Amino acid sequence: MKRAALKGLLDVAIHNLRDYTTDRHRTVDDYPYGGGAGMVMKPEPFFKAVETICPDPSSRRVIMLSPAGKRFEQQMAVELSNESKNLVFLCGRYEAID
């Protein structure tokens, strides 16, 4: 990624989900509905972040990363590089986005 960015082929911006929350504690996760162990990510900060960063839905492709998904390798990067849309990668924390 560094070499592609230096050549001007790639632009990477990292956004903190806490910047897109509305409560005073800037909370991005909550307990699962019905109780249980663990935490789940709130959808609201994700939606607000994506809509702020790339407001036109027709100009973006949103990709949610998860340990349970396909491995991101060179071939997939090449395929995605041919996209005419902006690519938005959503990265959760812990194990995934629930």
Lowest mean pLDDT among 29-33, 56-60, 62-66, 87-91: 29-33
Lowest mean pLDDT among 30-34, 61-65, 77-81, 85-89: 30-34
Report the percentage of the chain scoring pLDDT > 90: 47
Cβ atoms of 17 and 49 closer than 8 Å? yes
All structural domains of the chain with their residue ranges:
17-91
Q: Does domain 17-91 have CATH number 3.40.190.10?
A: no
Across the chain, mean pLDDT equals 86
φ and ψ at 88, to 5 degrees? -120, 115
Q: Which of 25, 55, 27, 41 is nearest to 90 (CA)?
A: 41
Mean pLDDT of 36-61: 89
Higher pLDDT, 55 or 34: 55
Q: Give the integer Cα–Cα distance in Å for 10 and 28.
A: 28
